[in-house]
Structure formats: C-alpha cells, structure tokens
Amino acid sequence: MGNRSTKKSVDDEVKEALERKDEALAAAKIQVYLEEEKNVPLNIAITGETGSGKSTFVNAIRGVGDDDEEAAPTGVVETTMEATPYLHPNFTNVKLWDLPGVGTMNFTAAKYLKEVGLEKFDFFIIVSADRFRENDVKLAKEIQKMKKEFYFVCSKIDVDIENEKRKREFNEEKTLKQIRDNCTQGLQDQGFESPQVFLVSSRELHLYDFPLLVETLERELPDHKKNAFLLAMPNTSLEMIDRKKKAFKSKIKYLATLSAAVAGVPVPGLSVAVDLSLLVSVVTQYVFGFNLDIPSLKRLSNYTGVPYEELKEVIMSPLAATIITPDLLLRILVQTAGMALLMAVEEGSRFIPILGIPFSMVLSFTFTYKALNLVLDMLAEDAKRVLHKSCGVNG
C-alpha cells in the first residue's frame, strides 16, 4: 500500500487533468481513489480468556446472531490456537479475528502473538468478563512493545446490572463505577497506571461504552482506515449515524466530478449508463453502511427481538429494505431529485461562463451532487428511526 494516493494528491491530480481537458484521466484518477477507499483492509483482533465473551462480541459487532450459520461459535471450549477471521457481512474488507485465549495455549505472550500473526492486525481488543489477569496484562505489554494499539473491554455488563438490580438500593451509575473500578484494579495491580476500560454488553451494544469505544477507535486509527472502520460498526447512537453520513458526504464531490468528467467524454449515451451503475453502487454502499439492506434489517430484528415488519414500517426511503436496481434508482432519483435537477439546470447555467466547461458537465456535476446528498439525508433519517424503533435510542 506504499503508493496509495493521498487525498490531497487526488484533488491535485484531478484538477490538473481537468485543466488540461483530459476528462478521461480525471475520471480514471477518481475511480482508482474510490476503489482504494472501498477496499481498505482492516483487521481487528479480539482476544482474552476463554469464556470472557470474545466470540459473542465478534458476532454482535457483525450483527450476526449466535446461532446464525456464519456466526462465531459461542460457549465452546477453545481447542485450537488458530485465529479465526470473520468477515463483516456488508464490508468484507473488514475482518474480525476471534483469537483463542492466551491462557489456554500455555505460551508466553510473545510466542502467542507470533503464532496468531500479530503483524496483520490493526489493533487488539482484550476482553475480560470481570477483572483483567496476569495473562491479559502480559499480552497488552507485549502488544505495546510491538508498537500496536490495544483496548480493554469489560464484557457482559448486562449480567452484572441484572444481578445488582435484585438488591434494594440499586443505582446504575454506582454499579457501573464499581464494575469499572473492579475491572481496572487488575490492570493497576500489574502496573498500568490509568488504563481506560470500556464497559460493554454484547447483548445491547447501544448501552454503556460501546459507542464511546467506536468513537475512540475512530479517532485513533490512521486517517485512511477511519471510514472503513466506522462504516462497519453497527449503528448504536445517533451521533454515529451522523458521522457515517459525514464520511459518505466527503466522497460526494469526487463522485460528482466523476460523473461530470464522464459527461465530458463525447460518447453519446455513455454518460447516463456509467453514471447510473456508479450511482447504484454508491447508494448500495450507503444502504449497507446504515444497515438498511434486507439481510441487515433481518439480523437486527433477530438481535433485538423487534419484528422485521415493525422495523420496515419506520423506513420512508424507497431505496432502503429493497434491492437497488438501475431502473429503481433512476425512477427514485427522478422523483426525489427532480426538483434538484431543475435547480441544477438553473444554477448550472450560471456557472458556465466562469468554468468554461461544457454545460453537460456542469449539469452532471450538480445533479449527482444534489441527488446523492438528498438520498444520503433520507437514508440517514431512516437509520435513525430504525435505531429508535429497535432499541429506543432517541435524539
């Protein structure tokens, strides 16, 4: 990945190509950039003792039910030292690796990391159900030595909360603080001064610290990995949906420029066809990222127990919970963005003398720009309604 184009150089390259009236080159540059962005590999390692809840966490993040065919088996004794990769259902560039517990292997932490192939992982999540132990700490220190990042997750918080609720003086905040202190203690005993631990329930990812974990990882990942990571995470807060929307939005100018460049290539009929298949794949990515495709919604229904039909009921966009074909997309775009198209014509005609590029290009740019923004807004709103319906998260 050494020669990966940086964002800045893409902008410059495209601008240069357009100034030289080489629309085909501009289009090619943008296509390469968008392809690269779509295929950024992300490898997340989930490790911790047997029974700590690793496999369940892997499944929850992928939105896969524990008894789904493609699920990581849970509640089983670990017998191999294989790290097993589980692909994200909608973004197969993102892999979650279910690692065996270091304790089961009778290895040193260093040997363990060598065995599972430390190098390929972008970061490690070390899971514990109560208190981190010597093995977890040894592992963390070894990971640190190898200049990789790790995060501590205290799992099964719902179990602790349920148990505490039976007591007369239940106070959730106090209970969470106790769990946090207890979880942290083992790490402090082993010399981690102020470790950050995230309290998570794989049964209800939207509660406790999971949204904060996502936000933290997103912040700490290298720039070119941030979006790949974010889009593959399940929607667990309204802010997260807004951040996904922002991530998609940042690409729209490239897509609009691409459609303009294609429109500038004087092959009659080509522009519409290229545009449309491009738009179908882009909008499909939006639907995947917001978990609004039929399989994702079914998985969500399975995970939350809210019937699929009820989730579908709150969806307003005709592009969600369906299969997006070029015909459908064209129909919806004309319907929803028809007004935008008229505006595009009008605004476009104002730009022509300034830019000195063909009208067809301006029109294409403006239309794609507006249409994608409209569709994105609609889908983000649907995602928020589905989040509210499925787990009561409100604005």
| Binding positions for Mg ion, rule: CB under 5 A | 55
Residue 155, contacted partner among Mg ion, ligand GDP, none, CB below 5-8 A by kind:
ligand GDP
Written as six digits, the tokens of 203 are: 């049964």
Comparing CB distances to Mg ion, the nearer of 88 and 384 is 88
Where does this chain touch ligand GDP (CB under 6 A) — which range of 104-112, 195-203, 337-345, 376-384? 195-203
Where does this chain touch ligand GDP (CB under 6 A) — which range of 23-31, 154-162, 165-173, 357-365? 154-162
Indicate whether 53 belongs to the interface with ligand GDP (CB under 6 A): yes
Angle among Cα 321, 326, 332 to the nearest 5 degrees reads 65
Provide the minimum distance between the beta carbon of 304 and ligand GDP in the complex, in angstroms, as a whole number: 14
In single-letter form, the type of residue at position 201 comes to S
How many residues lie near ligand GDP (CB under 6 A)? 17
In single-letter form, the type of residue at position 286 comes to Y
Residue nearest to ligand GDP (CB): 53
Comparing CB distances to ligand GDP, the nearer of 18 and 64 is 64
The site map against ligand GDP for 10-49 (x = CB under 6 A) is --------------------------------------x-
Q: How many CA atoms lie within 13 A of 279 on its CB side?
A: 33
Residue nearest to Mg ion (CB): 55
Cα–Cα distance for residue pair 55/111, rounded to 1 Å: 22
Q: How far is CA 140 from the centre of its chain?
A: 25
Comparing CB distances to ligand GDP, the nearer of 30 and 154 is 154
Comparing CB distances to ligand GDP, the nearer of 17 and 61 is 61
Among 74, 93, 284, 360, binds ligand GDP (CB under 6 A): 74
Among 29, 54, 245, 389, binds ligand GDP (CB under 6 A): 54
Comparing CB distances to ligand GDP, the nearer of 233 and 376 is 233
Indicate whether 133 belongs to the interface with ligand GDP (CB under 6 A): no
Comparing CB distances to Mg ion, the nearer of 70 and 327 is 70
Angle formed by the axes of helices 223-232 and 270-289, nearest 10°: 70
Indicate whether 128 belongs to the interface with ligand GDP (CB under 6 A): no
Indicate whether 302 belongs to the interface with ligand GDP (CB under 6 A): no
Comparing CB distances to ligand GDP, the nearer of 31 and 50 is 50
Indicate whether 203 belongs to the interface with ligand GDP (CB under 6 A): yes
Provide the minimum distance between the beta carbon of 32 and ligand GDP in the complex, in angstroms, as a whole number: 39
Indicate whether 52 belongs to the interface with ligand GDP (CB under 6 A): yes
Provide the minimum distance between the beta carbon of 326 and ligand GDP in the complex, in angstroms, as a whole number: 42
Indicate whether 236 belongs to the interface with ligand GDP (CB under 6 A): no
Sign of the Cα pseudo-torsion (382, 384, 385, 390, in order)? positive
3-state SS of the chain is: CCCCCCHHHHHHHHHHHHHCCCHHHHHHHHHHHHHHHHCCCEEEEEEECCCCCHHHHHHHHHCCCCCCCCCCCCCCCCCCCCCEEEECCCCCCEEEEECCCHHHHCCCHHHHHHHHCHHHCCEEEEEECCCCCHHHHHHHHHHHHCCCEEEEEECCHHHHHHHHHCCCCCCHHHHHHHHHHHHHHHHHHCCCCCCCEEECCCCCCCCCCHHHHHHHHHHHCCHHHHHHHHHHCCCCCHHHHHHHHHHHHHHHHHHHHHHHHHHHCCCCCHHHHHHHHHHHHHHHHHHHHCCCCHHHHHHHHHHHCCCHHHHHHCCCCCCCCCCCCHHHHHHHHHHHHHHHHHHHHHHHHHHHHHHCCCHHHHHHHHHHHHHHHHHHHHHHHHHHHHHHHHHCCCC
Residue 305, contacted partner among Mg ion, ligand GDP, none, CB below 5-8 A by kind:
none
Comparing CB distances to ligand GDP, the nearer of 115 and 377 is 115
Comparing CB distances to ligand GDP, the nearer of 205 and 340 is 205
Provide the minimum distance between the beta carbon of 189 and ligand GDP in the complex, in angstroms, as a whole number: 22
Among 25, 28, 43, 51, binds ligand GDP (CB under 6 A): 51
Q: Which residues bind ligand GDP (CB under 6 A)?
A: 48, 50-56, 74-75, 155-156, 158-159, 201-203
